[in-house]
C-alpha cells in the first residue's frame, strides 16, 4: 500500500508537468530488497506548488523546500531539488538554492543514499554510481569526503551506522576523512549523537558499529568512559535487533561504574526514566548469582523492578558472554515465569489506617510494621487482613512502647 500511495504522489506531480522521484534511503532499501521505513520524494516543483497540488500538506521545512504531503493517511516528505549553501556551524547549511535532480543528489551524504527511482517507468537514476557501491557493499561519501564531513559532522556517525547496519566496508578515502574529522564530532548536538548511538545499537550488528566507532576514534570522543572489551563485543553480538534504546544502552554500559553511567546518560540527554532503568539494570546484575540464597519475599521484591524481563535478558547475555554459566539465569527465569503479577505485588493486607484504628501512634514504626506484614504475606504466611492484624498484635504489642 505504502509504495503505491507514494507512487501516486509522484504520478500526480508528473501529471502537472513536474519531475518527481523517490529518493534516498527508500531507493537504497528497494534495491536491497528491504521494505523501506518511509518514502521520500524529490521534485522540481516548488514548495508552494506542492502545497497547491495536494489536499493535505504541512510546510514542515518550506524554507528548505520540504513539504509534508499527507496522502491516504500517511505523511510523505516531498522536497524540492536543492543544493545546500555554505555550512557555518558544521551541521546546518545557511540556506538552500533550488536546483535540479543531479545537484540534489550531489548534496546527499553517501552514494548508496544518492539514488533516484522513477516509480512510473520503474527506472533508477544513478548520478553517483550508487548501484555499483551497493553491489560492492561499500559506504562512500559523495564528492570530496573531507569536505562533506567538514560541512556536516553528523555524516561521520551516519557512515558508521550504515556500515554497521548493512555490513558494508567504508571506502578508504571516506574512512580517512572520517578519522580526520572524528575529533570535531562535538559540533553535533548531543541529542543527535544520542540518537545515532541508539540507532547503531539497535538497527543491526552493533558489535561492528562499536568496532567502527573505536577504530575511527569516535568512541573516545563521544563515550570516553567506555572500555570496549571483548566481553562487551560478545554481549553486543548477543543482543537482539530492535531492542529498546534504554535496554541497548544498558548492555553497552553495564560494566561502567554506576556513577559514571549516570554522567554519560545525562550528557547524552537520556530521559530520567531511561537513565533510571539503565542504572537499575547494571546494578541488579550482581544480584542474580545471589538469588538461590534469597528469601521468596526478597525474590518477589527483586521481580518488582520495572520491566524485569530486561533484567533477565541482560543476565542471559552477560552470562553467555562471560563464563557461559546459565545457572543463575535459569533459576531466575523459571521463578519469574512461575509467578503472576499478583504473586509478586499482591494488594496490601493492611494499611497505616488499620494501624491507627488499632491504636498505634503514627510514626516511623509504621513502615517497619507494614514491611514485616508484607514480607510475611510474600512468604505466603499471611493470607487475610485478619491474619495480618493478629500478626501485628502478636509481634508488635502496643504496651511494648513507641
108 interface partner picked from ligand ATP, Mg ion, none, CB below 5 to 8 A per type? ligand ATP
Report how far residue 135's alpha carbon sits from residue 158's, in angstroms, rounded to the nearest whole number. 20
Answer for which of 10, 13, 22, 25 binds Mg ion (CB under 5 A) is 25
CB environment 372-384: b (16+ within 10 A), e (fewer): bbbbbbbeeebee
Structural contact between residues 81 and 98, judged by C-beta atoms closer than 8 angstroms: yes
- Nearest residue to ligand ATP, scored by beta-carbon proximity: 25
Minimum CB distance to Mg ion, residue 236 (Å): 24
Collapse the DSSP code of 61 into the 3-class scheme (helix H, G, I; strand E, B; otherwise coil) and give the result: strand
Tell me which residues touch ligand ATP (CB under 6 A): 24-25, 37, 40, 108-109, 113, 152, 154-155
Residue 198 parent element (H or E): helix 190-202
Minimum CB distance to Mg ion, residue 139 (Å): 16
Report how far residue 393's alpha carbon sits from residue 77's, in angstroms, rounded to the nearest whole number. 69
Minimum CB distance to Mg ion, residue 372 (Å): 56
- Which has the closest alpha carbon to 160: 181, 178, 185? 178
Minimum CB distance to ligand ATP, residue 108 (Å): 3
| Residue 265 in grid coordinates | 546518560
Nearer to Mg ion, 25 or 209 (CB): 25
Minimum CB distance to ligand ATP, residue 40 (Å): 6
Nearer to Mg ion, 25 or 65 (CB): 25
Nearer to ligand ATP, 112 or 321 (CB): 112
CB environment 288-301: b (16+ within 10 A), e (fewer): bbebeeeeebbbbb
Binding range to Mg ion, per CB under 5 A, among 23-31, 70-78, 225-233, 315-323:
23-31
Under rule CB under 5 A, which residues in 323-382 are in contact with Mg ion? none
113 interface partner picked from Mg ion, ligand ATP, none, CB below 5 to 8 A per type? ligand ATP
- Which has the closest alpha carbon to 183: 148, 209, 150? 150
Task: Give yes or no for residue 114 binding Mg ion (CB under 5 A).
Answer: no
Sites of contact with Mg ion (CB under 5 A): 25
Amino acid at each position: 500500500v505504502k509504495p503505491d500511495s507514494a507512487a501516486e504522489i509522484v504520478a500526480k506531480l508528473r501529471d502537472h508537468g513536474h519531475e518527481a522521484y523517490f529518493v534516498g534511503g527508500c531507493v537504497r532499501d528497494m534495491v536491497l530488497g528491504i521494505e523501506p521505513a518511509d518514502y521520500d520524494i524529490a521534485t522540481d516543483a516548488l514548495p508552494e506548488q506542492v502545497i497547491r497540488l495536494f489536499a493535505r500538506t504541512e510546510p514542515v521545512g518550506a524554507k528548505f523546500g520540504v513539504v509534508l504531503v499527507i496522502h491516504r493517511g500517511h505523511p510523505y516528505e516531498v522536497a524540492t531539488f536543492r543544493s545546500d549553501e555554505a555550512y557555518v556551524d558544521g551541521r546546518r547549511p545557511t540556506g538552500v538554492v533550488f536546483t535540479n535532480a543531479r545537484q540534489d543528489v550531489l548534496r546527499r551524504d553517501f552514494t548508496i543514499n544518492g539514488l533516484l527511482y522513477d516509480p512510473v517507468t520503474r527506472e533508477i537514476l544513478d548520478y553517483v554510481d550508487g548501484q555499483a557501491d551497493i553491489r560492492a557493499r561499500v559506504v562512500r561519501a559523495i564528492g570530496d569526503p573531507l569536505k562533506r564531513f567538514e560541512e556536516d559532522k553528523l555524516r561521520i556517525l551516519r557512515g558508521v551506522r550504515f556500515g554497521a547496519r548493512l555490513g558494508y566496508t567504508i571506502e578508504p578515502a571516506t574512512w580517512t576523512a572520517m578519522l580526520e574529522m572524528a575529533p570535531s564530532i562535538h559540533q553535533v548536538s548531543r541529542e543527535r549523537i544520542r540518537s545515532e548511538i541508539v540507532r547503531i545499537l539497535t538497527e543491526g550488528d552493533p558489535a561492528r558499529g562499536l568496532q567502527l566507532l573505536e577504530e575511527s576514534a569516535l568512541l573516545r570522543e563521544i563515550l570516553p568512559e567506555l572500555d570496549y572489551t571483548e566481553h562487551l563485543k560478545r554481549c553486543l553480538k548477543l543482543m537482539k535487533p530492535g531492542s529498546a534504546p534504554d535496554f541497548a544502552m544498558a548492555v553497552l554500559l553495564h560494566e561502567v561504574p554506576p556513577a559514571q553511567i549516570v554522567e554519560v546518560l545525562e550528557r547524552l540527554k537520556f530521559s530520567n526514566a531511561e537513565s533510571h532503568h539503565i542504572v537499575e539494570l547494571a546494578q541488579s546484575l550482581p544480584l542474580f548469582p545471589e538469588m538461590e540464597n534469597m528469601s521468596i519475599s526478597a525474590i518477589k521484591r527483586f521481580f518488582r523492578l520495572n520491566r524485569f524481563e530486561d533484567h533477565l535478558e541482560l543476565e542471559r547475555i552477560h552470562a553467555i558472554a562471560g563464563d557461559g554459566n546459565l545457572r543463575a539465569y535459569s533459576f531466575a527465569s523459571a521463578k519469574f515465569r512461575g509467578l503472576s503479577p499478583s504473586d509478586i505485588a499482591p494488594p496490601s493486607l493492611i494499611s497505616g489506617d488499620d494501624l491507627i484504628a488499632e491504636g498505634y501512634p503514627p510514626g516511623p514504626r509504621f513502615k517497619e510494621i507494614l514491611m514485616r506484614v508484607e514480607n510475611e504475606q510474600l512468604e505466603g504466611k499471611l493470607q487475610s487482613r485478619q491474619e495480618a492484624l493478629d500478626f501485628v498484635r502478636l509481634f508488635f504489642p502496643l504496651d511494648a512502647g513507641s
